[in-house]
Chain A
């Protein structure tokens, strides 16, 4: 149980285009999902917290107009990187929190490797 999927697993795009990444909780309902960014050999940096049916809460320094987050259902959250630039190239990971988990812990998706040319 507690499986989180992400799609796509990797994407290459041209500078200036937009990319959408999907995060799904496959076998549980996730009222809260989190989006992280991880640069090579660095740890996970929280970008935003997404609650179903409400606006996402962004961390300081993360542009909400550039990283659009939609959490339309209890099993799906999407992150759209708008007007992507090479500096946006990174590993994007989502996680979902399950109330039914023993420690109320977060379960992570497999990540999406974004490369902007």
Chain B
């Protein structure tokens, strides 16, 4: 089966750093994605990890530990526009390469 857990909500202050955790237990693994989704809009791609370690991309970084079934998304220098839902998704290794999404973490950035 597929089980992906994320905190439901987080709150942080503008300019601060926030870490959103994701743990997964899946029958297969072909990479982990993080997407950002603003209310009523489609998800947009943020990052991809398939090997252990940290991937840095501007203000956003994502970490993966396959042995622990654990990932986190790190957001630095938070801006008000970063208020959104952040979705962790694991890709299936099958031919269709389907994504299974976590429930999402609603981040609220306060002034």
Residues of A near any B CB (own CB < 8 A):
4, 32, 34, 41-46, 49, 51, 57, 91, 93, 97, 103-111, 113
From known contacts A103-B31, A103-B48, infer whether A46 and B98 are also in contact, taking CB-CB under 8 Å.
Answer: yes
Pair A43/B96 contact, Cβ less than 8 Å: no
Which of B11-19, B39-47, B64-72, B74-82 is the interface stretch?
B39-47
From known contacts A32-B96, A103-B48, infer whether A44 and B31 are also in contact, taking CB-CB under 8 Å.
Answer: no
Interface Cβ pair total, 8 Å cutoff: 49
Chain A residues contacting B42 (CB-CB under 8 Å) are 4, 93, 108-111
Q: Which of B48, B96, B104, B106 contacts A57 (CB 8 A)?
A: B96
Residues of B near any A CB (own CB < 8 A):
31, 33, 35, 40-45, 48, 87, 96-104, 106
Q: Which of A32, A42, A93, A105 contacts B33 (CB 8 A)?
A: A105
Chain B residues contacting A105 (CB-CB under 8 Å) are 33, 45, 48
Chain A residues contacting B100 (CB-CB under 8 Å) are 46
Question: Closest residue to B106 on the A side, CB-wise?
Answer: A41
Chain B residues contacting A113 (CB-CB under 8 Å) are 40
Q: What is the CA–CA distance of A109 and B104 in the complex, to the nearest angstrom?
A: 18
Pair B43/A44 contact, Cβ less than 8 Å: yes
Q: What is the CA–CA distance of A43 and B40 in the complex, to the nearest angstrom?
A: 12
From known contacts A44-B87, A105-B48, infer whether A49 and B41 are also in contact, taking CB-CB under 8 Å.
Answer: no
Q: What is the CA–CA distance of A25 and B31 in the complex, to the nearest angstrom?
A: 23
Pair A43/B44 contact, Cβ less than 8 Å: no
Q: What is the CA–CA distance of A104 and B104 in the complex, to the nearest angstrom?
A: 22
Question: Closest residue to A105 on the B side, CB-wise?
Answer: B45
Chain A residues contacting B33 (CB-CB under 8 Å) are 103, 105
Chain A residues contacting B103 (CB-CB under 8 Å) are 42-43
Pair B40/A91 contact, Cβ less than 8 Å: yes
Question: Closest residue to B87 on the A side, CB-wise?
Answer: A43
